[in-house]
């Protein structure tokens, strides 16, 4: 008979089962949960360190609070693998981030225990406050808990929410999970005792009685007494800022010690007025040696060997676009001391960790603050510097107002390096860079580029570095390039000029970005159907190469535009240009135009190639679209079902 490695966890199908256990059994549950989390991620890959850091906190929250009636909002959602295991999804935990499997983040459609979807950070307090106010309006009595990491607290949105929550005085519990910034000293028995004391009803009752008594004293004495009490509590705990924002501060406490966590959480649960903030100190990667020892605490990992922690990394066929961007930017910065680089808490994700090693004093990580990053870059540009603001496509969305008002309207030469453009595989729709072509392409004066391969990316970095007449951006995907030979330094491209790679006479395919490889493959396949095909690489989404566009429209029966972006993007710009130039007027006869974009839907996580096929942007879909345009419906149908 095989003995289970997780005997107590095996008895838990939901938090209701967890709450039937004795408090003395919870430490073993946490050990089982940590073991199960490590084992699951070793099979699936994904975010590991953050989840390991909140194992005890996850157990304590589901034990003390009546979830899902009580709402727990996680910020960010990648730390919720232990939460998923405890909330009825253990049987699917080894499908994390796989096609048809569990999301790597919280997802409302996946479980009633996922109170709020969170693929990005710093949203929990705002969402939690909204839920708390909704509860109050409905005369409800459930609890709302927002769990926010210290890194997430670097975003302005978190402070906007704290300010509003303090003013509204709604009953809201915020757990500040301090696992990285070390904003508090190591906690011990005295700190835990004080946290338990000040969170308890007896202390609060005495405090309230003293406040009532003091209110009858002269105003000067009352104010001094109130400040003295707050100071005496904050001097030990460090919570002065939160107190000033209107929160009752408790902490710091050891987030891995259930004997400390449980009584404090019970006390704040039973606090019946106003917002409270509990400061919990945890260790990212806790309980797994390789994670504790690694620089990033195994933030995101591939599949790995549990015994050694060694990750199983697939052999790379070509360098990643991210690394090529870093290489190209270094090459430009070596020749131009005005080039500086900015990122928002993603130095390794954007390649700026590499740039930072070469130019540490010209690299700026502004934390999770994309709005600030954009305007900070605008300020640098005002003073003659050449800022490259490197952000993921979906993260740049957070700074869009600043892109418009602080950069575009003032025509400042800020360069946006947009990583993770297009579909991103296992991270799913929260991280898919689907909209940048649409939301930047509509801005007057913007130069917008998309490389077809890693060599083109180097050219576009060089072009952006040389372009000083206004804002520019270049978007590139996650993952490896196609393996082209790379120059030592990129060449400066002529602004707004595309290129033709294959000449034909019947159908023209105009590709933007990395859909070019599939476009070339489609053209070769179309030759088997007797369809002579031209393939052009737009290079620039804005300004559009009008001369190239007119030539393609005038000399072919059909024009197909292909992009890995949403509707409203490059294809819409092409349609507008063709319309303005009269190329779609009735006298053009049989000319046909189609735009192939991402579907008007969010595509769930899967392998990138499968997502592209589902979006109908692969070579087979392009061939089918061309045959359909030419009137060969039967051949098109055969291609699509093959």
Distance CA 260, CA 273 (A): 22
Distance CA 521, CA 629 (A): 18
Does 361 show up as a binding residue in the annotation? no
- The DSSP bridge pattern shows strands 71-75 and 339-343 to be unpaired
Compute the 3-state secondary structure of the chain and give helix, strand, coil in percent, each to the nearest 5: 45, 15, 40
The sign of the torsion formed by the CA atoms of 481, 483, 484, 489 equals: positive
Does 288 show up as a binding residue in the annotation? yes
Does 142 show up as a binding residue in the annotation? no
Q: Of 84, 90, 97, 284, which one is the catalytic site residue? A: 284
Cis, peptide link before residue 543, omega less than 30° from 0: yes
Q: Are 107 and 114 in contact (CB under 8 A)?
A: yes
What's the 3-state SS for 133-152? HHHHHCCCCCCEEEEEECCH
Q: Of 332, 370, 454, 563, which one is the catalytic site residue? A: 370
Q: Of 97, 271, 398, 515, which one is the catalytic site residue? A: 398
Does 121 show up as a binding residue in the annotation? yes
Q: Is 284 a catalytic residue?
A: yes
**Sequence-distant (≥ 6) Cβ neighbours of residue 238 within 8 angstroms:** 183, 184, 252, 279
DSSP state of 307: T
Does 454 show up as a binding residue in the annotation? no
The sign of the torsion formed by the CA atoms of 428, 434, 439, 440 equals: positive
Q: Is 557 a catalytic residue?
A: no
Of 356, 150, 372, 334, residue with least CA distance to 364: 356
Angle (deg, nearest 10), helices 189-199 and 219-237 = 140
Q: Are 432 and 601 in contact (CB under 8 A)?
A: no
**What is the biggest distance separating any 2 CA atoms in the chain, rounded to whole angstroms?**
96
List the structure tokens of 230: 């707050």
**Sequence-distant (≥ 6) Cβ neighbours of residue 242 within 8 angstroms:** 162, 249, 277
Distance CA 525, CA 535 (A): 13
Give me Rg for the CA atoms of the chain: 28
Q: What are phi and psi of 590, to 5 degrees?
A: -85, 5
Q: For the beta carbon of residue 493, count every other beta carbon within 10 angstroms.
A: 21
In this structure, the chain runs to a length of 642
Q: Which helix (H) or strand (E) holds 435?
A: none
Q: Are 467 and 413 in contact (CB under 8 A)?
A: yes
The sign of the torsion formed by the CA atoms of 176, 181, 182, 184 equals: negative
- The DSSP bridge pattern shows strands 540-542 and 499-502 to be unpaired
Does 296 show up as a binding residue in the annotation? no
Of 126, 426, 372, 179, residue with least CA distance to 286: 179
CA distances from 204 to 49, 108, 192, 200, 422 (A): 36, 36, 17, 6, 53
Distance CA 334, CA 338 (A): 10
Q: Are 111 and 139 in contact (CB under 8 A)?
A: no
Residue whose token pair is 């509204």:
168
Does 78 show up as a binding residue in the annotation? yes
Q: What is the dihedral of CA 614, 109, 176, 140, to 10 degrees?
A: 160
Q: Is 370 a catalytic residue?
A: yes
Distance CA 46, CA 356 (A): 26
β partners of residue 587: none
Of 230, 255, 254, 245, residue with least CA distance to 277: 245
Does 169 show up as a binding residue in the annotation? no
β partners of residue 615: none
* Catalytic site positions: 284, 370, 398
| Residues tagged in the binding site annotation for thiamine diphosphate | 78, 119-121, 179, 288, 370
| Residues tagged in the binding site annotation for Mg(2+) | 150, 179
């Amino acid at each position: 008979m095989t003995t289970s490695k997780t005997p107590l966890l095996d008895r838990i199908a939901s938090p209701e089962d967890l709450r039937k256990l004795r408090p003395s059994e919870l430490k073993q549950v946490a050990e089982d949960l940590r073991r199960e989390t490590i084992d699951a991620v070793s099979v699936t890959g994904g975010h590991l360190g953050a989840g390991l850091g909140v194992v005890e906190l996850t157990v304590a929250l589901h034990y003390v609070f009546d979830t899902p009636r009580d709402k727990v909002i996680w910020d960010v959602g990648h730390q919720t693998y232990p939460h998923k295991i405890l909330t009825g999804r253990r049987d699917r935990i080894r499908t994390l981030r796989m096609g048809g499997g569990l999301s790597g983040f919280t997802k409302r459609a996946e479980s009633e225990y996922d109170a709020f979807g969170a693929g990005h950070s710093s949203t929990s307090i705002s969402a939690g406050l909204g839920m708390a106010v909704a509860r109050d309006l409905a005369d409800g009595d459930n609890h709302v808990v927002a769990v926010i990491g210290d890194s997430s607290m670097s975003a302005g949105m978190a402070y906007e929410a704290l300010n509003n929550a303090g003013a509204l005085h709604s009953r809201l519990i915020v757990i500040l999970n301090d696992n990285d910034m070390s904003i508090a000293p190591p906690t011990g028995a005295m700190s835990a005792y004080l946290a338990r004391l000040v969170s308890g009803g007896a202390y609060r009752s005495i405090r309230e009685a003293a406040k009532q008594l003091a209110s009858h004293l002269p105003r000067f004495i009352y104010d001094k007494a109130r400040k003295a009490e707050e100071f005496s509590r904050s001097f030990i705990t460090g919570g002065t800022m939160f107190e000033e924002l209107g929160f009752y501060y408790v902490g710091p406490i050891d987030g891995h010690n259930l004997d400390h966590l449980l009584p404090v959480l019970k006390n704040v649960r039973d606090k019946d007025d106003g917002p409270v903030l509990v400061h919990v100190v945890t260790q990212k990667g806790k309980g797994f040696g390789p994670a504790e020892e690694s620089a990033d605490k195994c933030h995101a990992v591939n599949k790995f060997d549990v015994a050694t922690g060694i990750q199983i990394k697939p052999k790379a066929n070509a360098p990643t676009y991210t690394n090529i961007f870093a290489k190209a930017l270094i090459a430009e910065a070596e020749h131009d001391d005005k080039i500086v680089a900015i990122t928002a808490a993603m130095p390794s994700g954007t390649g700026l960790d590499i740039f930072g090693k070469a130019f540490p004093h010209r690299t700026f990580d502004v934390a999770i603050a994309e709005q600030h990053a954009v305007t900070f870059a605008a300020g640098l540009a005002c003073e003659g510097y050449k800022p490259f603001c490197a952000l993921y496509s979906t993260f740049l969305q957070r700074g869009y107002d600043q892109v418009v008002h602080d950069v575009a309207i003032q025509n400042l030469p800020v360069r946006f390096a947009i990583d993770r453009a297009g579909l991103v595989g296992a991270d799913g729709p929260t991280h898919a860079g689907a909209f940048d072509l649409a939301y930047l392409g509509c801005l007057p004066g913007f130069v917008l580029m998309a490389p077809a391969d890693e060599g083109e990316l180097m050219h576009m970095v060089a072009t952006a570095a040389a372009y000083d007449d206004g804002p520019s951006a270049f978007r590139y995907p996650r993952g490896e390039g196609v393996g082209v030979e790379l120059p030592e330094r990129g060449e400066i491209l002529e602004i707004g000029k595309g290129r033709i790679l294959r000449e034909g006479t019947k159908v023209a395919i105009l590709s933007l970005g990395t859909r070019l490889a599939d476009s070339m493959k489609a053209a070769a396949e179309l030759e088997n159907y007797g369809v002579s095909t031209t393939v052009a690489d737009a290079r620039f989404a804005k300004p559009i190469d009008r001369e190239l566009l007119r030539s393609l429209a005038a000399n072919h029966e059909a024009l197909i535009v292909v992009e890995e972006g949403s509707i409203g993007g490059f294809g819409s710009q092409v349609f507008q240009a063709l319309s303005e130039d009269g190329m779609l007027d009735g006298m053009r006869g049989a000319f046909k135009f189609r735009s192939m974009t991402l579907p008007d839907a969010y595509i769930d996580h899967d392998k990138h190639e499968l997502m592209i096929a589902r979006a109908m942007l692969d070579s087979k879909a392009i061939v089918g679209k061309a045959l359909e345009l030419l009137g060969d419906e039967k051949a098109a149908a055969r291609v699509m079902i093959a």
